[in-house]
Amino acid sequence: MMKKDIYVLSAKQISMQQPLCEDWMTQPVEYQTPFNRSIDPSFKDYISPIEARRMGKILKRAIATSKEAIKASGLDSVDAIITGTGYGCIENTEFFLDALSKDGEQMLSPTYFMQSTHNTISSLVAIQTKNHGYNVTYAHKGISFDSALQDAVLQMRLGKINSALIGGHDELTETFYRILKKGGMMGQDDEMCGEAAVSVVLGTNNDDYLCKLVNFKMLHKPTLEKLKAVAKDFQADYILTGISGNHKSDKAYFAETKELFGDAKLLKYKHIFGESFTSSGIGVYVAAQCLKAGKIPAHLFVNPSEISDKKPSKILIFNHSDGNNYSLTLLEA
Amino acid sequence: MDELIYTLKQQIIEALNLEDMKPEDIDENASLFGEGLGLDSIDALELIVMMEKNYGIKLQDPAKGKEIFKSVAVMADFIAKNRTK
Amino acid sequence: MTNPILITGCGVVSAIGNNKAETLDALLNNRSGVGPLVHLKTEHKEFPVGEVKMSDDEMRKRLNISDNNITTRTALMGMIALDEALKEAKITPEMIPNIGFISGTTVGGMDMSEQYYLDYVNNENHKEYIAVHDCGSCSEMTAEHFGKFAFITTLSTACSSAANAIILGANMIRCGEADIVVVGGSECITKFHLNGFNSLMILDTQWCRPFDATRAGLNLGEGAAYLVLETEESAKRRGVKAQAILSGYGNACDAFHQTASSPDGEGAFRAMKEALELADIQPDKIDYINAHGTGTPNNDASESTAVKRLFGENVPPMSSTKQFTGHTTSASGSIEAVFCILALQNGFVPVNLNWSQPMEDGIVPVHQSVKKELKHVLCNAFGFGGNDSSLLISKPEL
């Protein structure tokens, strides 16, 4: 897919791990509980009180990570802002639905409605950064971030843009966690659920970057043959899988990676970052930071006997969201 | 009237999520929109909802909000004259 | 654009028709589908709406879907429109695994969730609907009725969702990711957004009047439309002809406010300008603009300004068709694209119904029936949050 050099210039996160830093590499925060909200930084440096008062957590996190990622990229601004969110602004949707269901159809809050639409995240980031460029939001469960990434890559190949801020944002309230678990959407078996806010800046300029984005592909319900054919262009020594504690999904990851990538070493990240609909964005962040640092933390290895401090050259982020939608993102140092 | 003004300030703080503010911080004669507190059109809509919820006053035309929400004092006066709750 | 993107099939369902033929007839005869609420169970009967004239049961019957299957209204409308589009483009089930599907929606399965929300929270009832609440699941439900598409994704940019789905599809084709991509959107009316829009006080209790001095808000609508985008080479190989050409498109962000458009219409201006530049077509070659034209004081003023900035003194014939269908929100970009295709094919300008008084500094829309050969038309879709998109659709060269 790639015919142009594309670089990951920067990547920032707010999640179950310490926010806006890479402390998780050496001192990961450990969790045992099945549902966890993120560790938030102070948002005062990013948003004025009069603006912040209306914003739920997902919006504040999007602004903070976006501003940090743009700053770290060295760019003054980006040509496009493209966001992925699986479920959108759950807190505000919940407030509105709650009021609608319990109090009826009168006297409803416009703020909750306004802040509940999926694209309010991307739009707010544009307002805050005064950005008139291409702006789009994807909402397709576990490949929302991936769809956003794909869009940026397509446009860079077409020469329409030279940089893009890709966001992956999802939040989770206790109520929605219980609902989604009941519906079989997440929280199955030993799966630990969390929230993800990740902002990645892609660019075609290679002055200073975390890693190169070498290849990318998304597939829907592919046959094994199709996957094998595609996987030929995605070979890497390390495969960052979405192993999460969901037994069916994990079993599939083991089987598929063996079939597609042979003896490549398997890595995981959801044991410390949790599962969310845009956790594939966290996967890209994790892989990019490992490639920049020149090492993979021991606790990411699925198989302890494979732990190595060899400098990684390529990491593939392999995501098979709900078993139906696959994405492969190949990063190189 | 003083009691209404104080209560109104509390309700405004709650409706508009002015987290770090206390009723004492709001000057009842200062303009709420524009320069004063710097509220905007969405806040005006929230105040319309708040007025209906707490005082039973239903405002059909959002444009009228501009006059009524000039300041807390003006708002209190309007509410005192029109409340049904 | 060097290689043209063909539109080889399209399908539409809205308040004015359950297919293209009914839609064309309504447009030519100035017959609006806006009226009192019938299907949605809500207290707010005071708002005229453009509902699709089929219940969920009727749509299931049409599609041969048994009552045991879980469906949502948005997906059902989507399937009906998708069916028509695939048939027109002569796409057979065997071809589906090599075709992409991109859909735009914001409400997804909210029509069910808003009914069952308290059950979701408190008990085990209706939990099978939880998995179809989100936007992506809605697209998959729509697509799976026809087979396993090669890739599926979902855009959600409020009222420009379907337009942006069309843009993504075009970019995928231009990058060689697919020869054929089906693009568009679907949205049903829900209590959630009917009440949401009401809380923003932008709904009119009267029939809406886009670009009229007395306009007071929008009427909500619902519907779905899909277009089959295809390379010239693929269409030739398959022996299908182009219904229209997607010549250009633009997407820009107003970056002004989450629910209001800027006074200078910056996002709209940039989106339209980009569409013209991509198509390499000058403003004076545009024969018609299908406006976003919701009938809110804010949109129509902002859009008028943007159009005048781009076209100067020579604003082409322009109209809103939301008086026909209501504002179909996420689906409006593709529904109105189909209206543009019908206009191109049949040589007429859709009338801006219910107009009598020019607005201050506004465009004067086409308010009487006009028969005119059209070659290039612009189709605008502007979403909450300033997600502004514009499509340039052209008649195929003979």
CA of A152: how far to CAs of A78, B9, B15, C101, C319, in Å?
A: 11, 47, 39, 18, 33
Nearest-CA distance A185 → chain B (Å): 33
Residues of C annotated as catalytic are: 159, 292, 327
Domain with B64 in it: what CATH number?
1.10.1200.10
Three-state secondary-structure class, residue A109: coil
Give the model confidence (pLDDT) of A238-265 as tens digits.
Answer: 999 999 999 999 999 999 999 999 999 9
pLDDT for res C90: 98
The pLDDT-based confidence of B32 (bands split at 50, 70, 90) is: confident
Using a CB-CB distance cutoff of 8 angstroms, which residues of chain B are in contact with residue A114?
A: 42
pLDDT of B35 strictly over 90: no
pLDDT at A180: 94
Look at the block and give the residue holding tokens 């979403």: C383
Nearest to A140 among C44, C139, C200 (CB): C139
Q: pLDDT at residue A1 above 60? A: no
**Minimum Cα–Cα distance from A53: chain B residue:** B17
Give the model confidence (pLDDT) of A5-55 as tens digits: 999 999 999 999 999 999 999 999 999 999 999 999 999 999 988 888 889
CA C123 to the chain's CA centroid: 37
Q: Which of A57, A103, A109, A124 to mutate to test the interface with B (most CBs of B within 10 A)?
A: A109
Closest-CA residue of chain C to A133: C252
Range of the domain at B40: 2-82
Predicted pLDDT of residue C89: 98
Asked if C191 has any chain A CB less than 8 Å from its own CB, the reply is yes
- Domain assignment of residue C51, given as a range: 1-398
Q: Are C362 and C301 in contact (CB under 8 A)?
A: yes
What mean pLDDT do residues A77-98 have? 96
Q: What would the mean pLDDT of A95-108 be, rounded to a whole number?
A: 93
Amino acid at C89: A
Q: What is the pLDDT of residue B40?
A: 85
Say what the pLDDT of residue A283 is: 98
User: pLDDT at position B38, please?
Assistant: 75
pLDDT band at B21 (very low <50, low <70, confident <90, very high): confident
Residue B49: pLDDT band by 50, 70, 90 thresholds? very high
Q: What is the pLDDT of residues A259-293, one digit of tens each?
A: 999 999 999 999 999 999 999 999 999 999 999 99
CA distance B75 to chain A (A): 19
| Surface of B (4-23) touching A: CB under 8 A | 16-20
**Any bridge partners for residue A203, and if so which?**
A7, A163
The answer, yes or no, to whether residue A313 has pLDDT greater than 70, is yes
Chain B residues with CB under 8 Å of A106 CB are: 52
B45 in reach of chain A (CB within 8 A):
yes
Which residues in chain A have their CB less than 8 angstroms from residue C268's CB?
none
Question: What are the chain B neighbours of C197 within 8 Å (beta carbons)?
Answer: none
A102 and C118 within 8 Å at the Cβ level: the answer is yes
Q: How many domains does chain C have?
A: 1
What domains are defined for chain A? 6-203 (3.40.47.10), 211-332 (3.40.47.10)
Query: Binning pLDDT at 50, 70 and 90, where does residue A3 land?
Result: low
**Closest listed residue to residue A34, CA positions, set A198, A174, A183, A197:** A174
User: Nearest C-alpha of chain B: how many angstroms from C232?
Assistant: 48
CB nearest to B45's CB, from C200, C257, C258: C200
- Would you tell me the crossing angle of helices C110-122 and C191-199 to the nearest 10 degrees? 100
Q: What is the ipTM of this complex?
A: 0.97
Query: Of A53, A111, A114, which is closest to B19 when you measure between CB atoms?
Result: A53
User: C174 touching A, CB under 8 A?
Assistant: yes
Tell me what pLDDT residue B41 has. 86
User: Looking at the complex, does the CB of residue C111 fall below 8 Å from at least one CB of chain A?
Assistant: no
∠C74-C80-C82 over CA atoms, to 5°? 95
**pLDDT at residue number A225:** 95
Chain B residues within an 8 Å CB radius of A115: none
Contact C255, A130 (CB under 8 A): yes
What is the structure's pLDDT at A51? 86
CA distance B2 to chain C (A): 30
Question: Which residues from C are below 8 Å from A113, CB to CB?
Answer: 192-193, 195-197, 199-200
User: How many CB pairs below 8 Å do chains B and C form together?
Assistant: 10
Q: Contact, A74 vs A207, CB < 8 A?
A: yes
Q: DSSP code of C203?
A: B
By CB neighbour count within 10 A (0-12 exposed, 13-18 middle, 19+ buried), where does C124 fall? Answer: exposed
Q: Which of C45, C102, C103, C121 to mutate to test the interface with A (most CBs of A within 10 A)?
A: C121
A54 and B CB contact within 8 Å: yes
Poorest-confidence range of A60-64, B10-14, B62-66, C288-292?
A: B62-66
**From CA A25, how far away is CA A309, in angstroms rounded?**
13
- At A206 the pLDDT is 84
Flag whether pLDDT at A309 surpasses 70. Answer: yes
Whole-prediction pTM value? 0.97
Radius of gyration of chain C (CA): 19
| Contact list, B62 vs chain C (CB under 8 Å) | 201
Which pLDDT belongs to residue C398? 62
Look at residue A128 in the predicted model and tell me its pLDDT: 94
Q: What is the pLDDT of residue A130?
A: 96
What's the mean per-residue pLDDT of chain A?
A: 95
- Chains with at least 3 CB pairs less than 8 angstroms from chain C: A, B
Compute the nearest-CA separation of B29 from chain A (Å): 20
| List of chain B residues whose C-beta atoms are within 8 Å of the C-beta of residue A109 | 46, 49
Token digits of residue B28: 């009842």
C278 close to C248: Cβ distance less than 8 angstroms = yes
Q: Do B19 and A109 touch (CB under 8 A)?
A: no
For chains A and C, CB pairs below 8 A equal 199
Domain tally, chain B: 1
> Tens of pLDDT along chain C (398 residues)?
778 899 999 999 999 999 999 999 999 999 999 999 999 999 999 999 999 999 999 999 999 999 999 999 999 999 999 999 999 999 999 999 999 999 999 999 999 999 999 999 999 999 999 999 999 999 999 999 999 999 999 999 999 999 999 999 999 999 999 999 999 999 999 999 999 999 999 999 999 999 999 999 999 999 999 999 999 999 999 999 999 999 999 999 999 998 899 999 999 999 999 999 999 999 999 999 999 999 999 999 999 999 999 999 999 999 999 999 999 999 999 999 999 999 999 999 999 999 999 999 999 999 999 999 999 999 999 998 999 999 999 999 86
For chain B, list the contacting chains (3+ Cβ pairs, <8 Å).
A, C
- Per the model's pLDDT, the better-predicted residue between A30 and B85 turns out to be A30
Question: Is the pLDDT reported for residue A232 higher than 80?
Answer: yes
State how far residue A287 is from chain C, nearest Cα, in angstroms. Answer: 24
- The string of pLDDT tens digits covering residues C75-118 is 999 999 999 999 999 999 999 999 999 999 999 999 999 999 99
Looking up residue C284, the CATH number of its domain turns out to be 3.40.47.10
